[in-house]
Amino acid sequence: MTKNGKCGAVHKARVGFAALLAILLAGAQAGPSSAAEPVSNDATLMGYWLSQDHDGVFKIDRCGQNLCGHLVGLRYDGTDVPRGHDGKSECNLLMLTDFRPMGESNAGRWAGHILDPDTGHLYDSQIWLAQPDVLKLRGYIGLPIFGETQTWTRYSGPAMGPVCKIPDSVK
């Protein structure tokens, strides 16, 4: 270390910059791929979608000029419908809101918000079709590289049971 102590500070700055760069590059690699061009329009996005973990079914539909999605099916044990942070039932909860087309530079993508019912937080999100019956949903904070993408599949299974319960036959 030098007499004025700057050597340690420079080393810490380099390590911090390297760590930040590694995080950004990792996020960019995990981010949406431009190789698979989304071709989503509102009609192809509308319908029923099974979440990645097969624990929720969402109905995406028009809400005025935008698209929105309600949680219409849940996987849970017993007879008590799961409740959000506010104590209200998650059955038919509006979780996807204000989805609008992103424009020509992001053709096929729709931007909006997704609600985390456990915390009440709204996150920025994008949806698009990767294939005709495969929907991608990316939720993030601030920039899309700081998020996670899930793969949902079109749901065509049996009707939901009482109080939004996903039938046991759906795996």
How would residue 16 be classed by pLDDT, with cut points 50, 70 and 90? very low
Give the burial class of 106: count Cβ atoms within 10 A of its Cβ; 0-12 exposed, 13-18 middle, 19 or more buried.
Answer: middle
Residue 48 inside a domain? The answer is: yes
Q: CA nearest 149: which of 140, 161, 159?
A: 140
Question: Which is it for strands 47-50 and 122-131: parallel, antiparallel or unpaired?
Answer: unpaired
CATH number at residue 72: 2.40.128.520
Q: CA nearest 126: which of 104, 96, 153, 154?
A: 96
Residue 14 inside a domain? The answer is: no
The range of the structural domain enclosing residue 102 comes to: 42-164
Residue 29 inside a domain? The answer is: no
Domain count for the chain: 1
Residue 16 inside a domain? The answer is: no
Residue 26 inside a domain? The answer is: no
For the entire predicted model, the pTM comes to 0.75
Residue 35 inside a domain? The answer is: no
pLDDT digits (tens, 9 = 90+) for 105-133: 888 899 999 999 999 999 999 999 999 99
